[in-house]
Every structure is written in C-alpha cells, then in structure tokens.
Amino acid sequence: MLVLNEFTHDARVQREAKALAAANHNVTVVALWKAGLKREEERDGYRVVRLHLRSRGWRSRLVAPLVKYVEYAFRVGQLPDSRSVQVYHAHAVQTLPAAWLATRGRGHRLVYDAHELETGHNFHGFRLAGIYRHVWPWPERAFIRSADATITVNEGIADELVRLYGIADPVVVMNCPERQPFNKSTRLRDELGIPPGLKIALYQGGVVGGRGIEPFLYAIQRLPEVAGVVLGDGHLLEEYRTRAESGLWQRVYLPGKVPLDDLPHYTASADVGVTLIQDICRSYHLALPNKLFEYLQAGIPVLGSNLPEIARIIQGYNVGLVVDPDDPDAIAEALGRLLRDTDLYARSSAKARQAAAIFNWDREKVKLLDLYQNLGK
C-alpha cells in the first residue's frame, strides 16, 4: 500500500491494511518519514516502512511536488522486497504513478483507491490554483485504465469515474468506522469545562476552508443554549482560536486534534454532530465524509449539508436534518430544531443507532476482501 503522507492519522488506510492483514495477506504500507517517526514499525499485523525523501525540504510550490513524486516513485521501486510484491495498492492519485511504474513488466497487480474526485479537487484560495487544477488529475487520467481494480468511497464518485474514463464499475468501500457500543460519555464537557446547561454541537475533522466551520460557529452565536466544539487541526485553527478568545465567538471550544483511538469517546459526548461541507468544488459536491458515519456510531443525530451524497444518507435513513451549509441563520434554525424538539431528537437518535448497524467497517471490509479474493481471476 502506497501513501504520500507520514501515515499517522490515515484512518481509511489503517482499516484497509488491518483488514487485509487479518485475512492472511502480507501487507506493507509505504509512507513518508519525518523526524520523530520510526523508519519501520509493526502495527496491527502489517508493516509500515517510511521513506526519507530529500526533496521534502524543497520550498518551491511549483517544482518541489513534482520532484517529490518522482523521488518517491524511484524509492518505491528500489525497496528490497519489491520483487516479491503481488499487488501495489495506490491510495489517492499522488501515488498512482509510483504504483504503475512499479508494476510495469513484473506481473504485479495494481489497485487504485480513489479517496475523492480528483478532477474536482479543492484548490480554493490557492495562489497556483489555475495550474494545479489542470495538473493534479493528470496521473488519474493517464493510469486509471491500467489498474486491475478501482476502489472509491461512494456511489456518486464511482459513477463519475465511469463517466470520465469508461472503466468498469469501481468497488465502493465507504469510509465507515468500526462498529462500537453506544456508550454515552462526558469527555468533552469534562475536559473543556462546558457548563452542564449547554447542549454540545460537534464538528470533527480538518480545520480548513470549505468545511462550513465559520457558518457553524456563527450559528452558535444565535443559540445561547448550545456550545460549539471544533475537534481537529488545520491551518485555520489558530485564527479561529483568536476569534473565540477575543469574544467574537461565545461558547466556542477549539481543543485541537485528539488521538484517533480516543476519538469515539469524544464523539459520544456530543449531542449533535455536524458535517457542513460547502459546495465549492466538484469533489466537495460529491463528498461523503467519514465523520458522518462516526456520528452514527456514537448514536447522535447529524446536521449535514444539502449535497447529494450527504443528503442521501441523512434523509434516506432519517438520522437528522440537511441545511444550506453557507447560511448561519438556516444552520441555527435547523440545529435549534434538532435540539429543542424532543420527539425529533429521539427519533433521529434511534435511527442513527439503526443506521450504525448498516454503515460500519465490519460490513464495508467484506467488499475489500472480496476484491482481493477475486483479483486476477
């Protein structure tokens, strides 16, 4: 399995590697090394190897990424046990060239795992957006038809990949967490000192643009009985903390990132989970965040964007409400309705618990294991 990150918080790849290892596959995840991380380690039955790339220190935003991809591809092909590999599993478009190159002429299989719609990638606010918008999806266009199998995260993106490239239907393996018991917690309230009279609305995920965090926190200002918690890290975290500390945002808590293994306990201490992806690019339009499924596993209602894949789950399974993610007034109205209408809240919570039995990794991993069982037949 190839990833172009340090492999510290990549839940999807961790789950896939663990599932395949438990099914008696010999799995190695090839990632990037940085100071403080081990070059090699064993984890949940699989091995992690981290490569030290010299090009990671380069500063040029235009040239450095290309050099990094080339160096990574070369280093993957030079791994000592590369000849014994049977399958190269490319996670996201950045690793697809390296995987394709490693399989050429050696009889290896290639699996492409499309984590999002790369032709609609979010470059909102990026100075070189015009260039990257054209260059970014090039590896997918060039190599996806060479893959022996393609995996992706939801039906909408699967349909789009078929339309764009004329490939066979991808296998949809959704970003669902492992099944967990519904054990309510008070962890957020205890650790953050949230007063007992306030309900807790939780956003968890990257603190970056396009996730509806600002409209959500402005909506909290219209709901004096609700605290808003943003659980995660990202380049906007310090700016948002400054706004909260200045008094611009009241009843807002931004504790940062928590360990992945502890996350379910924090989620279970919220009253409502929010996933307000904004429609700023095609990839976001078709997004189905894993956070939505994490809220379901905690048995809490969900307030989500009125976008196709998110709405399909929330409305199709009656687990909450959908709303315009750009409108703080609409968010406040819907959030207030969920928390104040006791019958609606009880129904949505019960439906969330039922949906958790459907949308979980125990069910999703079966599709991954079946793919590997039939690969090459």
pLDDT value of position 43: 94
What is the average per-residue pLDDT within 230-254? 96
pLDDT band at 216 (very low <50, low <70, confident <90, very high): very high
Q: Which of 49-58, 210-219, 367-376 has the highest mean pLDDT?
A: 210-219
pLDDT value of position 204: 97
pLDDT band at 59 (very low <50, low <70, confident <90, very high): low
Per-residue pLDDT for 61 more than 80? no
pLDDT in tens, 251-271: 999 999 998 889 999 999 999
Q: Which of 133-137, 139-143, 197-201, 273-277 is predicted with the least confidence, judged by mean pLDDT?
A: 133-137
Q: What is the largest CA-CA distance in the chain?
A: 65
DSSP per-residue letters across 81-122: TGGG--EEEEESGGGHHHHHHHHTTTT-EEEEEE-S-GGG--
How much of the chain exceeds pLDDT 90, in percent? 78
Q: What is the pTM of this model?
A: 0.89
Q: Which residue would you say has higher pLDDT here, 104 or 215?
A: 215
Q: Are β-strands 302-305 and 272-275 bridged in parallel, bridged antiparallel, or unpaired?
A: parallel
Per-residue pLDDT for 60 more than 70? no
Helix and strand totals (H; E) in the chain: 16, 13
Around Cβ 190, how many Cβ atoms within 10 Å? 10
Per-residue pLDDT for 292 more than 90? yes
* Among 112, 103, 102, 3, residue whose Cα is nearest residue 48: 3
Check: CB of residue 25 under 8 Å from CB of residue 371: no
